[in-house]
Amino acid sequence: MAATVTWDAASSSNLSANGNWDTGVLPVTTDEVLFSGPVTPNASLTFTNNHQWGDLVWNSNSSSTIAIAATQTTNKTLTLSGLAGSAAAIAAGGATGDLIVIGSNVTNQTLTISNAAASNGTNRLVVLGLGQSGNFNVVNSGATLVVSSSISGTTAGLNKTGAGTVLLNSQYNSYVGTTTVSAGTLGGSGRVKDVEVKGGGTLAPGEMAIGTFSTSNLLMNAGSTLAIEINTSTATTDLLKVNGNVALDAGAILTLTDLGSNVALALGTTLTILDYGNTATWTGLFTLNGVVLADDSIFTMGANTFQISYDGYNGSINDITLTTVVPEPAPFAVLIMGGCFLWILSRRHRSVLALR
């Protein structure tokens, strides 16, 4: 029978101890697992066994890391079955179908599910298992869920919901379903299979630092955003690596943020922001600041003028690139130059007439 089991040990870090839970027994696959006041969880939570929970509801306005205990010699799996109902999730501001909720009490804190190895040299890691498809819901925009452990799931997909941020940082995610960004931001430096970004959702490789995020196929719907950070001080950029096809619906948005000091890059500097498969296809165009960016169109960002290419800077490779070019003259400048040219022609014509 579904129940809510609440963490009840402020000073302990051991998730595998019966006495640290309000029921006196460990949560099971039909339990919602709740971390919420008045007990503030330890900043480091560890486990020594495999665990199966129904869902994970973090509604304590505090940051913490869930990791494997240092003494372990085998990998440990934390499986979220999705079989527990959603009463605690909904009470925390979540919804039915949430596997992880970072709740409404969490304003600007971070929960990390770590891939840190056990410190005894055996290099054992946490694996986060998904028993079925479900949501990673970060309710508030200032809150963050970081999943550095690998995520497994033989039938599962993942849906990012809520206004906050989820960072997926593992290169070894093996869940087979689509990763959907329905709201808020999905980013990190990990690798997943197909990705669909809905209107209002944001895909941000790296996120808060230059980084690379890898997918299979990519679909960006109208009103979705690809958020790219560049650093003009180091001439580096985020990269979205798509090992498949790229489809940009009309109204797909590109945003660019400079993490550097607005340095004017050398002419001809090329920044690759998206790399898609050698045999793959690209369809559609990005919109930047309300303007549709046609292939080879030019725009200005700070001290730099870029030309965007959807098939590489030389038109022969499957990259979307930004290359610094000479700025186009402003229309007023063209008008002045044209006027000067006509004036010179007029003077020359009068001089010829005078010689006659």
**If you average pLDDT over residues 149-176, what whole number do you get?**
95
Domain that holds residue 185: 3-355
pLDDT of residue 348: 53
Domains in the chain, number: 1
Mean pLDDT of 293-321: 90
Residue 275 near residue 239, CB atoms below 8 Å: yes
**Average pLDDT of the chain to the nearest whole number:** 90
- The Cα–Cα gap between 217 and 319 comes to 14
Q: How far is CA 171 from CA 149, 168, 215, in A?
A: 9, 9, 10
The residue among 197, 149, 158, 200 whose CA lies nearest residue 177 is 158
Confidence of residue 208 (pLDDT cuts 50, 70, 90): confident
**Each residue's pLDDT tens digit, 239-286:** 999 999 999 999 999 999 999 999 999 999 999 999 998 778 899 999
> According to the model, what pLDDT value does residue 277 have?
80
- Between CA 49 and CA 56 the distance in angstroms is 17
Q: According to the model, what pLDDT value does residue 162 have?
A: 98
In a 13 Å sphere around the CA of 355, the CA atoms on its Cβ side amount to: 6
* The pLDDT of residue 278: 79
How much of the chain, in percent, has pLDDT values that exceed 70? 88
Q: Is the pLDDT of residue 342 over 50?
A: no
Amino acid at 106: V
